[in-house]
Amino acid sequence: MLEKKPWNAAVINAVHCGISACDALTVFVLGGRHAGERHEDAISLFQTVGLPKDVLTAKSRQLSRLHGIKNAAEYEERLMNENDAREAVRDAERFSGWVKEYLSK
């Protein structure tokens, strides 16, 4: 997707990928997902899945960066740029890849 330069779309898709991966993990481990409006609460729920603290810290950071750029990409006037898109896609790939690996164990 990044080759065609639709930066906003790339960021938004990356954000939703991260959210979906987080939901998949919390449903698998906890039997439920965050359904509220506050993104911080989704991260707090994620942190209760019982994984080692260093893993939770690193993965929460990736998820937090994705949530942090969500409002800018979806609601603010400023358009996303290539760097925004590359960083969001990187975080989404790392987070969702890790979730996929975790769930396949």
Domain residue limits, the chain: 2-103
CA distance 37 to 104: 29
CA distance 46 to 30: 9
Binning pLDDT at 50, 70 and 90, where does residue 100 land? Answer: very high
Q: What is the pTM of this model?
A: 0.89
Binning pLDDT at 50, 70 and 90, where does residue 40 land? Answer: confident
Summarised one tens digit per residue, pLDDT across range 50-97 is 999 999 999 999 999 999 999 889 888 889 999 999 999 999 999 999
Contact 15, 66 (CB under 8 A): yes
What are phi and psi for residue 83, nearest 5 degrees?
A: -65, -45
pLDDT at 3 over 70: no
Q: Does domain 2-103 have CATH number 1.20.120?
A: yes
Average model confidence (pLDDT) for the chain?
Answer: 92
Q: What is the pLDDT of residue 83?
A: 96
